[in-house]
Structure 1
Amino acid sequence: MLISILSYMGIASLYTKYFKIKFTHSLPTSLSLIIVFLYISAMIGALSLATYFLYILGIASLFIYAYLDRKELTLYLRQYLLEITVLLSVILIYAFYTKDAYFSSWDDFSHWGVFSKELLLSSAIETKTMPTSILLSHAHYPRGPAIYH
Protein backbone atom coordinates (compact mmCIF):
# COMPACT_ATOMS: atom_id res chain seq x y z
CA MET A 1 0.00 0.00 0.00
CA LEU A 2 2.83 2.37 0.87
CA ILE A 3 4.58 1.59 -2.41
CA SER A 4 1.42 2.58 -4.28
CA ILE A 5 1.23 5.92 -2.48
CA LEU A 6 4.93 6.67 -3.02
CA SER A 7 4.59 5.75 -6.68
CA TYR A 8 1.52 7.98 -7.02
CA MET A 9 3.37 10.90 -5.42
CA GLY A 10 6.30 10.34 -7.78
CA ILE A 11 4.07 10.35 -10.85
CA ALA A 12 2.28 13.46 -9.59
CA SER A 13 5.64 15.21 -9.07
CA LEU A 14 6.72 14.18 -12.58
CA TYR A 15 3.46 15.59 -13.94
CA THR A 16 4.05 18.80 -11.94
CA LYS A 17 7.54 19.27 -13.33
CA TYR A 18 6.64 18.41 -16.91
CA PHE A 19 3.55 20.63 -17.19
CA LYS A 20 4.74 23.29 -14.70
CA ILE A 21 1.58 23.32 -12.62
CA LYS A 22 1.00 23.22 -8.87
CA PHE A 23 1.42 19.89 -7.15
CA THR A 24 -2.11 20.05 -5.73
CA HIS A 25 -3.48 20.42 -9.26
CA SER A 26 -1.45 17.53 -10.57
CA LEU A 27 -2.78 15.04 -8.00
CA PRO A 28 -6.29 14.47 -9.46
CA THR A 29 -5.05 14.76 -13.04
CA SER A 30 -2.26 12.25 -12.61
CA LEU A 31 -4.60 9.86 -10.77
CA SER A 32 -7.05 10.05 -13.68
CA LEU A 33 -4.27 9.32 -16.15
CA ILE A 34 -3.07 6.38 -14.06
CA ILE A 35 -6.57 4.87 -13.99
CA VAL A 36 -7.03 5.32 -17.75
CA PHE A 37 -3.61 3.75 -18.38
CA LEU A 38 -4.42 0.78 -16.12
CA TYR A 39 -7.85 0.33 -17.70
CA ILE A 40 -6.39 0.22 -21.22
CA SER A 41 -3.67 -2.14 -20.02
CA ALA A 42 -6.30 -4.45 -18.52
CA MET A 43 -8.22 -4.42 -21.81
CA ILE A 44 -5.17 -5.68 -23.69
CA GLY A 45 -4.24 -8.17 -20.96
CA ALA A 46 -1.17 -6.40 -19.59
CA LEU A 47 -2.42 -5.16 -16.22
CA SER A 48 0.40 -6.71 -14.17
CA LEU A 49 3.07 -5.34 -16.46
CA ALA A 50 1.50 -1.87 -16.43
CA THR A 51 1.23 -1.92 -12.64
CA TYR A 52 4.92 -2.75 -12.21
CA PHE A 53 5.82 -0.13 -14.80
CA LEU A 54 3.90 2.54 -12.88
CA TYR A 55 5.50 1.47 -9.59
CA ILE A 56 9.00 1.75 -11.04
CA LEU A 57 8.28 5.01 -12.88
CA GLY A 58 6.66 6.60 -9.83
CA ILE A 59 9.30 5.62 -7.29
CA ALA A 60 12.13 6.55 -9.68
CA SER A 61 10.47 9.92 -10.30
CA LEU A 62 10.09 10.49 -6.58
CA PHE A 63 13.78 9.78 -5.93
CA ILE A 64 14.89 11.94 -8.86
CA TYR A 65 12.65 14.76 -7.65
CA ALA A 66 14.01 14.39 -4.11
CA TYR A 67 17.58 14.50 -5.39
CA LEU A 68 17.23 17.38 -7.86
CA ASP A 69 14.96 19.61 -5.75
CA ARG A 70 16.33 18.99 -2.26
CA LYS A 71 15.72 22.53 -1.04
CA GLU A 72 12.10 22.61 -2.18
CA LEU A 73 11.46 19.15 -0.75
CA THR A 74 12.98 20.13 2.59
CA LEU A 75 10.74 23.20 2.69
CA TYR A 76 7.63 21.10 1.94
CA LEU A 77 8.58 18.48 4.51
CA ARG A 78 9.00 21.13 7.21
CA GLN A 79 5.77 22.84 6.22
CA TYR A 80 3.63 19.66 6.05
CA LEU A 81 5.40 17.38 8.54
CA LEU A 82 2.37 16.96 10.79
CA GLU A 83 0.03 16.12 7.90
CA ILE A 84 2.49 13.65 6.40
CA THR A 85 3.04 11.97 9.75
CA VAL A 86 -0.69 11.64 10.43
CA LEU A 87 -1.38 10.30 6.92
CA LEU A 88 1.39 7.70 7.10
CA SER A 89 0.32 6.69 10.61
CA VAL A 90 -3.28 6.15 9.53
CA ILE A 91 -2.15 4.15 6.50
CA LEU A 92 0.11 1.91 8.59
CA ILE A 93 -2.55 1.37 11.28
CA TYR A 94 -5.11 0.49 8.62
CA ALA A 95 -2.68 -1.87 6.89
CA PHE A 96 -1.91 -3.73 10.12
CA TYR A 97 -5.58 -3.80 11.10
CA THR A 98 -6.70 -5.32 7.78
CA LYS A 99 -3.74 -7.61 7.06
CA ASP A 100 -5.73 -10.72 8.02
CA ALA A 101 -9.05 -9.58 6.51
CA TYR A 102 -10.98 -12.00 4.33
CA PHE A 103 -14.19 -11.98 2.35
CA SER A 104 -16.85 -13.13 4.77
CA SER A 105 -20.23 -11.86 3.64
CA TRP A 106 -21.96 -10.13 0.78
CA ASP A 107 -20.93 -6.50 1.12
CA ASP A 108 -19.06 -4.02 -1.02
CA PHE A 109 -15.68 -5.23 0.19
CA SER A 110 -16.34 -8.87 -0.62
CA HIS A 111 -18.17 -8.10 -3.86
CA TRP A 112 -15.60 -5.79 -5.42
CA GLY A 113 -12.72 -7.60 -3.72
CA VAL A 114 -13.45 -10.69 -5.82
CA PHE A 115 -13.34 -8.63 -9.01
CA SER A 116 -10.10 -6.94 -7.95
CA LYS A 117 -8.51 -10.29 -7.15
CA GLU A 118 -9.51 -11.69 -10.53
CA LEU A 119 -8.12 -8.61 -12.28
CA LEU A 120 -4.78 -9.11 -10.59
CA LEU A 121 -4.67 -12.86 -11.20
CA SER A 122 -5.74 -12.79 -14.84
CA SER A 123 -4.24 -9.40 -15.80
CA ALA A 124 -7.29 -8.79 -17.98
CA ILE A 125 -10.73 -7.24 -17.58
CA GLU A 126 -12.67 -10.43 -18.23
CA THR A 127 -12.00 -13.91 -19.53
CA LYS A 128 -14.33 -16.86 -19.98
CA THR A 129 -12.64 -18.82 -17.19
CA MET A 130 -13.27 -16.24 -14.46
CA PRO A 131 -15.67 -17.53 -11.80
CA THR A 132 -17.54 -14.22 -11.73
CA SER A 133 -18.23 -14.40 -15.46
CA ILE A 134 -19.76 -17.85 -15.01
CA LEU A 135 -22.03 -16.96 -12.07
CA LEU A 136 -25.32 -15.47 -13.16
CA SER A 137 -25.39 -13.04 -10.24
CA HIS A 138 -22.12 -11.47 -11.46
CA ALA A 139 -22.63 -11.69 -15.21
CA HIS A 140 -23.81 -8.12 -15.75
CA TYR A 141 -21.53 -6.26 -13.36
CA PRO A 142 -18.87 -4.11 -15.02
CA ARG A 143 -15.29 -5.12 -14.24
CA GLY A 144 -13.71 -1.73 -14.90
CA PRO A 145 -14.41 -0.05 -11.54
CA ALA A 146 -12.38 -2.75 -9.79
CA ILE A 147 -9.25 -1.05 -11.16
CA TYR A 148 -9.84 1.70 -8.56
CA HIS A 149 -9.08 -0.85 -5.84
Structure 2
Amino acid sequence: MVVLYDSRMLRVTMAAALVVGAMAMFPSTAAAQPETAPCDYNLSAPHVVRVGSTDMVAVTMAPAGCDGATPYMSVACVQLEGSPGPGRCRQNNGPLTAVVYYSPYQPGATYVATGRGCATKGNPPQPFCGTTGPVTATL
Protein backbone atom coordinates (compact mmCIF):
# COMPACT_ATOMS: atom_id res chain seq x y z
CA MET A 1 0.00 0.00 0.00
CA VAL A 2 1.38 3.38 -1.00
CA VAL A 3 0.42 6.52 0.96
CA LEU A 4 0.85 9.86 -0.71
CA TYR A 5 1.16 12.98 1.47
CA ASP A 6 0.29 16.45 0.36
CA SER A 7 3.44 18.57 0.80
CA ARG A 8 1.44 21.46 2.32
CA MET A 9 -0.11 19.16 4.94
CA LEU A 10 3.32 17.76 5.78
CA ARG A 11 4.72 21.29 6.30
CA VAL A 12 1.77 22.29 8.53
CA THR A 13 2.18 19.15 10.62
CA MET A 14 5.93 19.71 11.02
CA ALA A 15 5.41 23.38 11.94
CA ALA A 16 2.85 22.42 14.59
CA ALA A 17 5.24 19.84 16.04
CA LEU A 18 8.01 22.44 16.24
CA VAL A 19 5.77 24.93 18.06
CA VAL A 20 4.64 22.32 20.59
CA GLY A 21 8.23 21.21 21.14
CA ALA A 22 9.43 24.78 21.62
CA MET A 23 6.66 25.48 24.15
CA ALA A 24 7.68 22.43 26.19
CA MET A 25 11.28 23.73 26.41
CA PHE A 26 10.38 27.07 28.01
CA PRO A 27 8.59 27.48 31.34
CA SER A 28 5.36 29.40 31.45
CA THR A 29 5.69 33.09 32.27
CA ALA A 30 2.47 33.05 34.29
CA ALA A 31 3.05 33.17 38.05
CA ALA A 32 1.89 29.98 39.71
CA GLN A 33 1.08 29.65 43.38
CA PRO A 34 3.12 27.08 45.26
CA GLU A 35 1.51 23.73 45.90
CA THR A 36 1.85 24.25 49.64
CA ALA A 37 1.08 27.37 51.64
CA PRO A 38 4.17 29.40 52.62
CA CYS A 39 3.05 29.53 56.29
CA ASP A 40 1.73 26.99 58.74
CA TYR A 41 -0.91 28.07 61.25
CA ASN A 42 -1.85 26.67 64.64
CA LEU A 43 -5.59 26.50 65.34
CA SER A 44 -6.48 25.61 68.90
CA ALA A 45 -9.29 23.27 69.79
CA PRO A 46 -12.22 25.02 71.46
CA HIS A 47 -11.55 25.28 75.19
CA VAL A 48 -13.22 26.86 78.21
CA VAL A 49 -11.68 29.99 79.73
CA ARG A 50 -12.84 32.26 82.51
CA VAL A 51 -13.19 35.92 81.51
CA GLY A 52 -14.00 37.95 84.59
CA SER A 53 -16.69 35.91 86.29
CA THR A 54 -17.99 34.28 83.08
CA ASP A 55 -17.01 30.97 81.49
CA MET A 56 -16.56 31.28 77.72
CA VAL A 57 -15.33 29.09 74.87
CA ALA A 58 -12.12 30.36 73.28
CA VAL A 59 -10.29 29.53 70.04
CA THR A 60 -6.93 30.88 68.88
CA MET A 61 -5.29 31.01 65.46
CA ALA A 62 -1.64 31.96 65.08
CA PRO A 63 1.04 31.74 62.39
CA ALA A 64 3.60 29.04 63.12
CA GLY A 65 6.52 28.55 60.74
CA CYS A 66 6.78 30.53 57.51
CA ASP A 67 8.95 29.67 54.51
CA GLY A 68 10.19 33.12 53.50
CA ALA A 69 6.69 34.58 53.80
CA THR A 70 5.26 37.38 55.93
CA PRO A 71 1.98 36.60 57.71
CA TYR A 72 -0.46 39.50 57.54
CA MET A 73 -3.73 38.13 58.91
CA SER A 74 -5.09 35.40 61.17
CA VAL A 75 -8.80 34.73 61.73
CA ALA A 76 -10.22 32.45 64.44
CA CYS A 77 -13.87 31.32 64.39
CA VAL A 78 -15.98 29.29 66.80
CA GLN A 79 -19.59 28.14 66.73
CA LEU A 80 -21.89 25.82 68.57
CA GLU A 81 -22.21 22.63 66.50
CA GLY A 82 -25.57 22.50 64.71
CA SER A 83 -26.39 26.15 65.30
CA PRO A 84 -27.92 27.93 62.31
CA GLY A 85 -25.84 31.07 62.76
CA PRO A 86 -22.35 31.77 61.48
CA GLY A 87 -20.79 31.71 64.94
CA ARG A 88 -18.21 34.28 65.98
CA CYS A 89 -14.95 35.26 64.30
CA ARG A 90 -12.13 37.60 65.21
CA GLN A 91 -9.23 38.80 63.09
CA ASN A 92 -5.78 39.98 64.06
CA ASN A 93 -3.22 41.52 61.71
CA GLY A 94 0.43 40.77 61.14
CA PRO A 95 1.98 37.87 63.03
CA LEU A 96 -0.36 38.36 66.01
CA THR A 97 -2.61 35.63 67.35
CA ALA A 98 -6.33 35.94 66.67
CA VAL A 99 -8.51 35.06 69.68
CA VAL A 100 -12.29 34.65 69.63
CA TYR A 101 -14.63 34.08 72.58
CA TYR A 102 -18.08 32.46 72.46
CA SER A 103 -20.71 32.81 75.14
CA PRO A 104 -22.84 31.66 76.71
CA TYR A 105 -20.86 28.51 77.40
CA GLN A 106 -23.13 25.44 77.43
CA PRO A 107 -21.62 22.51 79.36
CA GLY A 108 -21.76 19.25 77.39
CA ALA A 109 -22.19 21.01 74.03
CA THR A 110 -19.89 20.48 71.04
CA TYR A 111 -18.06 23.50 69.61
CA VAL A 112 -16.41 23.82 66.20
CA ALA A 113 -13.28 25.88 65.51
CA THR A 114 -12.11 27.02 62.08
CA GLY A 115 -9.42 29.43 61.00
CA ARG A 116 -7.99 31.32 58.07
CA GLY A 117 -4.44 32.58 57.67
CA CYS A 118 -2.91 34.84 55.04
CA ALA A 119 0.69 35.67 54.18
CA THR A 120 2.59 37.38 51.37
CA LYS A 121 5.58 35.98 49.52
CA GLY A 122 7.57 36.82 46.44
CA ASN A 123 8.67 39.90 44.55
CA PRO A 124 6.31 41.54 44.00
CA PRO A 125 4.58 40.15 47.11
CA GLN A 126 1.65 37.87 46.32
CA PRO A 127 -1.04 36.96 48.86
CA PHE A 128 -1.56 33.33 49.87
CA CYS A 129 -4.48 32.42 52.13
CA GLY A 130 -5.56 29.07 53.49
CA THR A 131 -8.11 27.62 55.86
CA THR A 132 -7.53 25.41 58.88
CA GLY A 133 -9.95 23.10 60.64
CA PRO A 134 -12.55 22.24 61.53
CA VAL A 135 -11.53 21.14 65.01
CA THR A 136 -14.33 20.02 67.32
CA ALA A 137 -14.50 19.58 71.08
CA THR A 138 -17.26 18.59 73.46
CA LEU A 139 -16.84 20.73 76.54
TM range (shorter): under 0.3
Quick check: which has more Rg, 1 or 2?
A: 2
Higher strand share: 2
